[in-house]
Each structure stands twice: as structure tokens, then as C-alpha cells.
Chain A
Amino acid sequence: MTNLDPDKIKVILATDCGSTTTKAILIQYVDGEYRQTHRGEAPTTVEKPFADVTMGVVNSVTEIAELAGRRLVGDDGRIISPATETDGCDIYISTSSAGGGLQMMVAGVIAEMTAASAKRAALGAGSIVMDVIAANDGRRPHDQIQRIRDLRPDMILISGGTDGGTTGKVVQISELVAPAKPQPRFGSDYSMPIIYAGNKDAREPVSEVFSEGGFDLQIVDNLRPVLERENLGPARDKIHDIFLEHVMAQAPGYDKLMGWTGAPIMPTPGAVGDILQTVARLQEINVVGVDIGGATTDVFSVFDETFNRTVSANLGMSYSISNVCAEATMPNVLRWVPFDMNERELRNHVKNKMIRPTTIPQTREALMFEQAVAREALRLAYKQHKEFATTLKGVQQQRTVGDTFSQQTSGQTIVDNMKLDLLVASGGVLSHAPRMHQTAMMLIDAFEPEGVTMLAKDSIFMMPHLGVLSSVHAKAAEQVFDRDCLVYLGTSVCAAGTPKPGKTCFKYELTGDRTASGEIIGGQMLLIPMAEGESGTISLAPARGIDLGEGPGKKVQKTVRGGTVGLILDGRGRTLTLPEDRSSCQSTVQGWLDALDVYAETTESMAV
């Protein structure tokens, strides 16, 4: 690892080794500021026959080199560093989710309490949680042992008990893990790393349980020292350390890659979480970010400075597309498609996409179908996220007699669409949609934002790169994020409540760079063009029972910002319901798509 003077860093090369593609970006210091200048992509080469991640990295960097006219890869196949006037880069950084990313198993005493905290720590560190073992997960001990045996995680995180709390249960959980002798995923030549972040009183007996049998036990501070507070930092840091020391070192080609980078390689989702938290903190806003991939969908949220991440395994657009259709059911997917499709063909089509995950839709119909699947995948992933992102459970409540009839349980979701300020989309189907209008529409349909919400996309999935960069050169990361990373789509103004079809839902008046006024009727959508860089003030007068941010029927005044799509007014109400009847559903959806000009006619014929 090199320690460079940040001021001397002028050329930054960053790669993200995803499970299918390796994406590289080049950031250069141009005219007094850092800008992302070029990018390149190549298939990831972790798997056989290549089994060397650096090949994909070199391929993607070569593409940048061609575009930038700068030699980045030397004759020895290594990335040239440090930079000269025309060659190489000052620092090279990378994230990785290739080879299945970081896969973990977590264990805790109570699924909703310490085990949930452990899961949050693991997810926050950017791992995929394969399973959560808890005393109350409903499985018999031998089933749990069998499960631990079958899994081949990269590491195991064990928590449980508050400090001074239960010792017995924690030891009991350890006594399940130890005899199961889980095998690490890569090779058997290193000991299974186990992180213990539970009751400090149980450290000794737990160490005893893992003293033999080839475990590498690491002890960190309790991640739930009292039930009222989480302390996820130490566990998270330890996960990152082990990820580098053990897991990365085992994956094909990573030992080489680690020698090239100027900063520790981070798991991709962990880096995305870092950059979103930074943005939320600096701008004092609530953010939801989503990354929909081929196999999984990650949802990140920062509400009132509380960060949460969920990974919806098996909700994705290629490897998992068939699962999305099965979970959401075909009728739910098809409700977003405004024309008839042959179900048998469609099913085969979905399975073909599953077994050949890298193909892209060539026709408009295929694209519309894929985007319909995306809406459902996002909707399901967001639902899972809401269920996970809750306040802490098991906390004592303070009551007054005034609470007699309004006793709220703890563990309510902290995700509140009305308080959401910024929704960031990334992942192929969202960021590579031919028209940004499609991205905006998918986001609104799937996430159902309420009130006034900014929509943006991470055009080329630059967030992971910037997440790592922020740890090396915060200034550069901030500048690039501001100028190049997010592409603002516009602002959505969505009515919450149940507007009456055909009756006024809300009245609006826009002043500023653009002026417009009128009213939105129930079930209507409207697009007001508002280019990027433009802004204005919108005054909203909702009908009775309709909420736009200040409460039902209350007037709202907000600043709105334009984008590549513009200002979207949505009078469909929340929660969004579509007509049951197929043909009226089709015409309704077609109406919305037309209103937002989602699928502009393309005339180009494909046959040559």
C-alpha cells in the first residue's frame, strides 16, 4: 500500500470487479477540479477458464486507455503507477463483489435483537448474509447444525447477549457452530475466521469452545452492549480486515490485484454505503439508494442519519429473473406491460434470460417486459428493506397516561417515503435504460415515493469507486460525486392518500425558471419539462385527505430541481393500485406511459 500526498494525486484509476462485469473509471485533475473523464468495461474473469480477476481489470483499463489516449497498462501486464505526463495513474483503487462477494453467516441469541444487529453489521460491511442462526429461529438444534455444515461462508460473526447479559445462550450458539465444523468457501488450507462480538462476560467460555477444531477466533466489542444501543463499528472493521486477509487472498488473481492497489480493496456494497452516508450527512437529507444487479438487489437507506442496507438475494434481473417472476407472480409483472404477451413464450423467455444472463433486450417489447420485471424486483426488495430497517427491538418504553390509547411497539420501520428526499438508482436495468424517463417511471412505480422527492441515477455505477476514494482522497470523491456521479432525473411530486378518480387531487403552481399551474386529477400523471440546472418553487394545494408532505389537505411549498426528465406530478395516490381487469389495466398503464413520454417511438429497423 502506498501513502501518497493527496495533493500530488492527479490521475486516479478505479475499478469495480462485479460478478459479471469489471468497470473502470479514470478520474483526472482538470482545470482545478477532479472530474471523471473516461470509463471502460469488460467481463469479469474470476471464473474458469480464466480464473484470474486481473485479466478483466486489464481489459477494462485497456478500454479506458484507448479512449483516453493514455497508456495505463504496461508491457508486463501491470497497471502503470505512478503516473508520468502521458502514462499511468497516481493511484489505483478497487472494490470487489466478484466471486460471489463476501459471504457470511451470522449468529445471535434472539433473531430480532442481537442477531438482527449482527446481520446489520455484516450487511453494512458489504457482505451477503447467507443465513442467520438464532436461538428462536424456529429450527431444531440439529437442523441448525446441518445448515451450518452445508454453508460454506467466508467467515462467521457471532453475537448475543448484552454486556452482563446471557452467557449460557451465547455459549450454546457457539456449541452449535463448533461441532458443525463449517468449511471456508475457498480451500481448506486456512482456518475458518470467527468474529465474536457478544456479551463480554462470555468471551472466555466462547474462546474455550473454539479453542480446537481449526478456528481463527477474533474478539471485538459487543455490538449490542445494551439493548437500547448498537455499536456496530468494531465488528464492521473486523469484517473488512478479515475480508482482505483471508477471503480476498484466496480468490483467483486477487493476491495480484491487492499488490496493485493503493488502498484496501473494499466489498462493493460497503463502499456504496459509505458514499451514501457521506452525502446524507453533508446535505442533511434522507436518502434511499438501490442497486439492482443480476443476482441480487441491494437497498441502502439513510433516515435521520441511521444507515441500513439489505441485500435481497434472488431478486435480480438476470440470474434471478425467474425467481422474481415466481415470487411476484406473472400477473403482477404483466400488469405493468400495456400489451398482451403469450405466457408460454414469456416463461421460456424468462428462463432463457436466466441461463444466459448477459443478453440484453433488443426489441421494445422485450425491454418493456424487462422493465416490468424490474419494477416488481424493486418493489419486493424495498418491502424487505422496510421490514428490516426498524428501530431497535427489546427496548423499555416510557409512558404517560396520555399514551393509553396509542401504545406503539418498538421495532417500527424507520423508512418513511414522505420524509425521503433523494432516491438514487443504479444497476444495469435502471442506469442503462435507453430513456431516463423509463428509469424515473420505474423508480416511482416501484418505490412509491410520497410528497416531493428528488430522483437521480448513478449513471455508470460510480458510487463504489467513490466510496473507496473517499477513504483516500475525500476531496476528489466529493467533487466527482457532485459533478459526475449522479445524473439528476428530476423531482417527483406524489400525492399520498386515495384520490377520487376524475376529481381534483391537487392544484399546483410552479414559479422560477419555469412557470406552470393547473390541477392534477385523481389517477393522472403529468410531466413538466424542467431541464437540468433549472429550479423553481412549487406551491401545492392538495384536496381533502390528500397528503403532500404537511399532512392531509395541508398546503405545501417546496423548492424543486429539474433534471433530464423534469418535474413529475403524480396523482395516482398511495398505495398504488392498478385496475384488476387486464384490458383496463393495460389502457391505464398506457395512459401513464404516454403522459410521461416513457417509451418514445423509435423508428429504426433492426434488419439490415
Chain B
Amino acid sequence: MAKAYTPGLLVTRHKKHRIMRRLPIAGDVQVKVNQQVTADDIVAETNLPGDVHPINLANTMSLPPADVVTCMLKAEGESIALDEPLAESKGLFGMFKTVVNSRYEGTVETVSPVTGQVIIRGAPLPVQVKAYMSGEVVNVTEGEGCEIEADVAYVQGIFGVGGEIQGNIKIACVSHDQDLDSDLIREDMKGCVVIGGARMTASSIRRAMEVGAAAIISGGIDDHDLKELLGYDLGVAITGRENLGITVIVTEGFGDISMAERTFEMLREFEGRLASVNGATQIRAGVMRPEIIVPLEAGPPPAASGKFEEGQLEVGRTLRVIRDPWFGMIGTVSGLPTEPHVLGSGSKARVLEVTFPSGEKAVVPRANVELIEE
């Protein structure tokens, strides 16, 4: 087998990271190439067309649709205020006229002679796109958005809820395998990105929301606690639009699981620095994982370790088992048998042999491990 691709989550101390900031519809990009931006800067702005309100004048005025046009007091494109007369019927010899007032504010967009419907468009809704990550604008697509690049430390989580936010990193747990409980959340964590160790409890998330933390990050979370936090049972892992007031990210998975030691140590190193955090997760085609970005001073990228090719299974590589019965355990590859192996479930699958730090060895399907990128 030439290439055995087993993706892992990216955790790196230093990389050149580029993000695309894009408007939902065409608008103005307010930055130029080579401009330095900070996370809070607005890089692009536009007005979303306002809400559309159809009014059926043909019915309201008991008219054939084709006659509606002749009764309009406002032409297409004219603006109209609330309760301002919109149309008036011809009446009988100039008497018994019916006047219809607009129930909406906006501009008359169309008057349809086919349906007798008038469409009034409300005021445009301004939309602003922030830089999200401090760095340098490297590319501008006029009218659409820009690309920002920076040297960053980058941690990919496995799952998160909540959207983009910034804050200073604050470490709450002393070690990577300590549960994050509510007593570890302190008042001075307001606006901070709180880093925990192993499982975060529901009470710790509530407490973090109370003190006004920007984000809370730890190794694992119980499904039950997540359900309590969201108020519903999450069906598909497409998140990022929750309005919780806090962004929650787990780096490893559900249940009692500690954060990878390397991740924890790296974040500890960056304590106090400003981090950009996004909990948006989309596990589907076009997979999106939650991320923690810590912008660094620009500098030459560190020499690539070069020990292993990215995404390549080889003897000696560190990996994590991601399915029971050894869920969450970290070990090294000690054998890569080529022949498919019959599992306890009775299925045949390609496997590998992994050695855990305790010296115990196990045979695990290749599908059930993920590489820890170094």
C-alpha cells in the first residue's frame, strides 16, 4: 500500500495561516493589500437587501390584477412610509374611492400586473465583516472580500459550538488530564479564552458564562451536558450559529478524555496572548473543525521536522485510538500488517498494531486511529 491516509487534527506551534473573509453578497472591501489589520478591524461592509413584503392589492381593492398598476399612488422605486397611501381605486364617478395604506416601510420594488401583487422592500440591513485574525491583508477580491495571512500557532479542535470570538488565553487546569470544574473558573476570566484539561462539566460552562468568558476549551464534554447547554439534542454536527454568548470547543471528543498533552502544553506556553477562536464545526463534505488561532510575531517558519510525511502511517508514529475499547488512548505504531484482520465484531478490516506507553499492545482497525501531527 503506497499511501495510507489517516487524517489527524492539526496542532502546530507555527504555521503561515491564511483566512478568507468574504461578504455574503457583493459590497465594499475596506482594506488594501499589505495593510496590517487587527482582529476587530472591519475589513468589508455591505448592505443586505431588506426584507420583502408582498401586498396583494388586487384582492384588497377587489380589482382585476391588471388594473392595479393604474391605481398606484407610488411608482416602482419610490419610497413609502408606514401608513402612507399606496394605492387608490378609481371609485364610481370619482366617489367611493378606496385608499390602501402601506403596512410596511420601504421602497416599492415591483407592481405585478399578473398577480396584482406589490412588493415593498424594507430598509437594507448593514453587514460588516471583521478581520477575525490579526495579520496582513495579502489579497483583495474587489467587492467580495480579502485574504489575511499571519504567522500563527494553530490548534484544531474536534467539535465546538458558538461562533468567532477573540480573547486572551487563560489556563484554568494545572494538567492536561484534570477535569475542568466550576471552581476553577475565576472572576478575572471575563473576556478570556479559558483552557481546561480533561472533561468540562456543565457547571463549569455555566460558570464561565456567568463570569463572561469569551470561550471555554477543554479535552472532552459529556453529551448530556451539551444537550443541557444547547437545550436540544444535537442531531448533525453542523454548528457555529448558536447564540450562547460563549464559544465552546472540545479538542478530543465526548466523554472523559484529556486534552492531548502537547496541545495543552502549547496553549499553556501562550497564556496571556490574544487568540481568535471559532467553534463552528461542520462534519460533512467540506469539513470544518473548530479552531484556536494564536497570532505570533512574523518570523521565519521553524525548520520542518521532516521526520514523517504528513498524513502518512508509519511505524513509530504517535497516534490516538478514536473508538472503544481503547477510546482516547495514545500510543505508537508498532506494526502495520498488510493482510486484513478479523475483528472482534466479526468484520474483516485492515489493522495496525499499536503500543501504548504502558507497554500493552493492541490490534486496532486503521479506520479507528488518528495521527497526531508533529
Contact = CB atoms under 8 A, between A and B. Distances in A.
Contact of A46 (B52, B115, B285, B325): B285
A142 B52 contact: yes
Contacts of B158: 355-356
Interface stretch (B72-80, B262-270, B271-279, B364-372): B364-372
B224 A314 contact: no
A349 B324 contact: yes
A322 B285 contact: no
24 contacts: A98-B285, A100-B286, A141-B54, A168-B114, A169-B115, A175-B112, A180-B52, A205-B114, A323-B236, A325-B233, A326-B234, A356-B158, A359-B365, A359-B367, A360-B323, A360-B365, A366-B323, A434-B343, A434-B347, A435-B346, A599-B346, A602-B342, A602-B345, A607-B363
A432 B340 CA distance: 14
A581 interface: no
Contacts of B307: none
Contacts of B236: 295, 314, 319-320, 322-323, 354
Interface in A137-185: 141-142, 145-146, 167-169, 171-172, 175-176, 179-181, 183
Given A360-B365, A362-B365, A604-B342, A145 B52 contact: yes
Nearest to B285: A100
B353 interface: yes
Contacts of B54: 141, 172, 175-176
A183 B25 contact: yes
Contacts of B65: 168
Interface string A30-63: 0000000000001100111000000000010011
B368 A345 contact: no
B144 A359 contact: no
Interface string A58-93: 010011000000000000000000000000000000
A327 B234 CA distance: 11
Interface in B101-141: 109-110, 112, 114-117, 119, 121
Contacts, number: 203
Nearest to A350: B223
Given A367-B347, A432-B347, A319 B283 contact: yes
A364 interface: yes
A142 B223 contact: no
B255 A348 contact: yes
A360 to B, nearest CB: 5
A360 B285 contact: no
A347 B5 contact: no
Given A181-B25, A347-B223, A364 B344 contact: yes
Chain B CB within 10 A, most for which of A295, A344, A354, A355: A355
Contact of A175 (B115, B323, B367): B115
Contacts of A314: 235-236
Contacts of A607: 360-363
A326 B233 contact: yes
Interface in A353-373: 353-364, 366-367
A130 to B, nearest CB: 13
A351 B223 contact: yes
Interface string B31-65: 00000000000000000010111100000000001
B53 A364 contact: no
B119 A322 contact: no
Interface residues of B, number: 66
Interface in A560-608: 599-600, 602, 604-608
Interface string A323-354: 10111000000000000000011011111111
Given A344-B223, A354-B283, 11 more contacts: A46-B285, A100-B286, A141-B53, A171-B114, A175-B119, A188-B26, A354-B237, A356-B158, A359-B323, A362-B368, A433-B347
Contact of A351 (B110, B117, B254, B285): B254
A359 B346 contact: no
A322 B158 CA distance: 16
Contacts of B370: 356
B342 A362 contact: no
Contacts of B53: 141-142
A107 to B, nearest CB: 15
A411 interface: no
Q: How large is the interface on A (under 10, 10 to 19, 20 to 34, 35 or more residues)?
A: 35 or more
A355 B284 contact: no
B115 A168 contact: yes
Contacts of A535: none
A364 B345 contact: yes
Contacts of A320: 235-236
B115 A326 contact: no
B226 A351 contact: yes
Chain A CB within 10 A, most for which of B109, B226, B287, B343: B343
B322 interface: yes
A604 to B, nearest CB: 6
A179 B367 contact: no
A606 B343 contact: yes
A46 B287 CA distance: 10
A19 interface: yes
A99 interface: yes
A345 B283 contact: no
Given A100-B285, A356-B370, A604 B344 contact: yes
A250 B37 CA distance: 32
Chain A CB within 10 A, most for which of B1, B65, B115, B367: B115
B59 to A, nearest CB: 11
A333 to B, nearest CB: 13
B46 to A, nearest CB: 13
Contact of B253 (A167, A326, A355, A367): A355
B223 A600 contact: no
A63 B278 CA distance: 38
A332 B342 CA distance: 30
A169 B56 CA distance: 12
